[in-house]
Amino acid sequence: MTMRVARSPIWLLGTALLALAGCEAEKPVAPTAAAALPAGEQLKLAPVSIADGKTVSAEVTSRDQAEARARIPGTLTALSVRAGDMVRRGQRIGTVSDARLGFETSAASAQVAAAEAEAARARAELARIEDLFRSKVYAQARLDAAIATARAADAAAAAARAQRGASASVAAQGAVLAPASGRVLRADVPAGSVVAPGQSIATITAGPTVLRLMLPESLAGSLRVGAAVTLAEPIAGASAGRITQIYPAITAGQVMADASIPGLPERFIGRRVGASIETGRRTAIVVPRRFVVTRFGVDQVDIISGQNVSAVPVQTAPVSGTDMVEILSGVAAGDTLFRARTP
């Protein structure tokens, strides 16, 4: 007897396979672990208040400058100092001579001698007349006349001596004296030159060394005593200070101010430098310079976005006197900067 094997319909097999696939789909899929950030430093940006500075021209100078001037006309016969020498107040640094003064002094001396001789004769004559008056030879009128003549002779002698002293004092004014203690800045009148009264022979520093700022008159309202000043390049270790004096006069559209810079040496007087002066305060985004990287000539910072780090080009400006930079564009407050740790 032939047996018949029952065959499962094909559709039953397909249904079973679909059921198994459905069961597999219902199983939860394990999430993939997110890639962790590399080791490094993070900085969240926030606005801060910084000084608003303006770059201006400045000159190293002394608070005052004294002029050693000729007091009489004549010839500068000697000049004993040069630029850079230190002098003290009242020190003789040069001599102006006038031959005419010597002749005038000699003439005055001769007049003194003549006047003193006349005074001696008048006193001797008075003594004889007084003896004769006591002997009843001369009258009172003769004695009075002799007394007046002797007094006039004495006065003439005194006037001649005063004239000689005046001539000698004028000659003594030929000495050129230092008006203040300090360093000679200029002494460029050569010996043998003819000078006029009041002509400057040498220029000498007076007072402490300061940084004299020249600012546009538009900034006059922003200046204040005590404002911070920073040199563009340090001079002998001196780099920063504060405004100590503001001059009220405006000349040629500029206002002057003096800043005291500790350690500023006087041997650099006359040097022109650039300086940044604080004119107010403003809000800005400031970061340490180490967070900014220059790639292919463009300043960039790395910003954390989710689990990714992306490079963003920025525009920066240095903050005077610090190792910080101001970010002008490219990022905003709330962004987080990233700096990879260097091995």
User: Residue 36 falls within a domain, yes or no?
Assistant: no
Model pLDDT, residue 91: 92
pTM: 0.52
User: Residue 195 falls within a domain, yes or no?
Assistant: no
310 DSSP β-pair partners: 303
Q: Label residue 130 exposed, middle or buried (CB < 10 Å: 0-12, 13-18, 19+).
A: middle
pLDDT at 30 over 70: no
Range 44-51 average pLDDT: 88
Whole-angstrom CA distances from 69 to 59, 197, 198 are 25, 8, 5
Q: What tokens were used for 188?
A: 């460029």
Name the more confident of 122 and 7: 122
The residue assigned the tokens 């002394």 is 62
Statement to judge: residues 317 and 229 lie in one domain: no
Statement to judge: residues 84 and 172 lie in one domain: yes
User: Residue 20 falls within a domain, yes or no?
Assistant: no
User: Could you list the residue range(s) of the whole structural domain that residue 305 is in?
Assistant: 285-340
User: Residue 264 falls within a domain, yes or no?
Assistant: yes
pLDDT at 7 over 60: no
Model pLDDT, residue 21: 45
Neighbour tally for 255: CB within 10 Å: 20
Statement to judge: residues 142 and 93 lie in one domain: yes
User: Residue 29 falls within a domain, yes or no?
Assistant: no
Whole-angstrom CA distances from 116 to 103, 105, 113, 311 are 20, 16, 5, 104
Q: Roughly how many angstroms between the first and final C-alpha of the chain, as a whole number? A: 88
pLDDT digits (tens, 9 = 90+) for 96-132: 988 777 777 788 888 888 888 988 988 998 898 888 8
Band (pLDDT 50/70/90 cuts) for residue 343 is low
Half-sphere exposure of 181 (CA within 13 A, CB side): 3
User: Residue 248 falls within a domain, yes or no?
Assistant: yes
pLDDT digits (tens, 9 = 90+) for 129-161: 888 888 888 888 888 898 999 899 899 989 888
Contact of 336 with 304, CB cutoff 8 Å: yes
Band (pLDDT 50/70/90 cuts) for residue 176 is very high
129, 160, 177: which is the final residue of a domain? 177
Which CATH number characterizes residue 298's domain? 2.40.420.20
Count of domains observed in the chain: 3
Statement to judge: residues 308 and 266 lie in one domain: no
DSSP state of 297: T
User: Residue 44 falls within a domain, yes or no?
Assistant: no
Band (pLDDT 50/70/90 cuts) for residue 27 is very low
Is residue 296 classed as helix, strand or coil in its secondary structure?
Answer: coil
CA pseudo-torsion sign 11, 12, 13, 14: positive
Band (pLDDT 50/70/90 cuts) for residue 178 is very high
Range 217-235 average pLDDT: 85
User: Residue 124 falls within a domain, yes or no?
Assistant: yes
Which CATH number characterizes residue 223's domain? 2.40.30.170
pLDDT digits (tens, 9 = 90+) for 244-294: 999 888 888 888 899 998 888 877 788 888 888 888 788 899 999 989 999
Q: How many angstroms separate the CA atoms of 95 and 165, rounded?
A: 19
Kindly report the average pLDDT of the chain as a whole number. 82
Band (pLDDT 50/70/90 cuts) for residue 17 is very low
Band (pLDDT 50/70/90 cuts) for residue 201 is very high
